[in-house]
Amino acid sequence: MNSRPPLSGGNAAAPAPASTQDPVNPQKDRTGMARIWHATGYSMEGLKAGWGETAFRQEAMMAIVLLPASFWIGRDWTETALLAGSVLFVMIVELLNTGIETAIDRIGPEWHDLSKRAKDMGSAAVFLSLVLAGSIWLSALYTHFLIR
């Protein structure tokens, strides 16, 4: 048995439970509407930070065109949802990629193989989301305009 005597000699007071200590992140102690309100604020900050990235701005500008077009091109709600969802999916993946790149850049500017791999995989995820969205849109355009 690995029992050690208390460091202070006598009956040392046990540390207070984590819930009564000051939280590092006050969001963790919020509940109900206060949590939702603050989480929404953090999400808006994330969108603002994403807007600072050229790729996200380009995808957002395309979304301004493609989201309304999805309602015109889609023949039923499933096609419309696929078209609109694929556009939003690209934007979601771009935000995640930007988050990965930002976290890696925070660690340090020096080159490291694992940092490169993480950034490359994030970039590959964006590429695959663009391929998926492009395939969905080309298929819908083909069936909408060429096959009647």
Residues with active-site annotation: 94
Give the H or E element holding residue 130: helix 113-145
- DSSP letter (8 states) at residue 63: H
Residue reference for tokens 């999916």:
89
Angstrom distances, CA of residue 97 to CA of 50, 66, 71, 94, 114: 10, 22, 28, 5, 15
> Among candidates 93, 146, 89, which has minimal Cα distance to 121?
93
